Structure 1
């Protein structure tokens, strides 16, 4: 086997391919690192957005619950006022109340016959 001081073209090509291959591997490694960082950031942002939405939903739920309790309290007070007014009306006008009840009874009987 003879040795030459001049490198053959084949060895130059192999060296070039080797350098090219090393460069591609480095770029793939860098891309993997960037992709991992991007995945971490997206996950962190998703958790942050989820927490934010959950907080808003809880605040909305608490507000809705408070409003519904207020509305229920108002309805109960209205019912109590109506019941009190009806009792007072019956006490003040017993004959009118009996006549109104009889008229309603006749109307229902008339509608039931049809």
Structure 2
């Protein structure tokens, strides 16, 4: 009878350890699946954020190109306007223009001598 009691206790212990071991294995497997799901979610989120940042960068680049084209057009318009004003002034006042050019040349010559 003593042997049978010991066998029962041992059987209960082994059963308990096996239950605990099975529970731990189940938890580990659950954790693995949750980690895999989290990895997939992070990967999707990263890809989504990457696309979002790339789209913002492309929009910013296109905006920068549009602004630079506008600025270039404004500079070209200003240069053309200034050139036409100079031509018009020379046509209206040819003698004053020649005198101003001569005075400018004289000042440059005097500065170069020093």
| Counterpart-to-counterpart distance in 2, 1:26 and 1:42 | 24
What secondary structure is seen at the aligned counterpart in 2 of 1:96? Answer: helix
Residue segments in structure 1 that go unaligned for 5+ positions in a row: none
Q: How far does residue 58 in structure 1 lie from its aligned partner after superposition? A: 1.2
| Corresponding residue number in structure 1 for 2:24 | 24
Structure 1 length normalisation: TM-score? 0.85
| Corresponding residue number in structure 2 for 1:36 | 36
| Corresponding residue number in structure 1 for 2:111 | 111
Q: 1:19-54 deviations in whole A, cap 9, x for unaligned?
A: 211111111110000000001111111111111111
The worse-fitting range, judged by mean Cα deviation, of 23-32 and 59-68 is: 59-68
The worse-fitting range, judged by mean Cα deviation, of 100-109 and 80-89 is: 100-109
Please list, as runs of the form range in 1=range in 2, the aligned pairs for 1:35-74 lying within 5 A after superposition. Answer: 35-74=35-74
Structure 2 length normalisation: TM-score? 0.85
| Counterpart-to-counterpart distance in 2, 1:14 and 1:83 | 101
| Counterpart-to-counterpart distance in 2, 1:9 and 1:108 | 116
User: Would you say how many aligned residue pairs link Structure 1 and Structure 2?
Assistant: 112
| Counterpart-to-counterpart distance in 1, 2:30 and 2:60 | 45
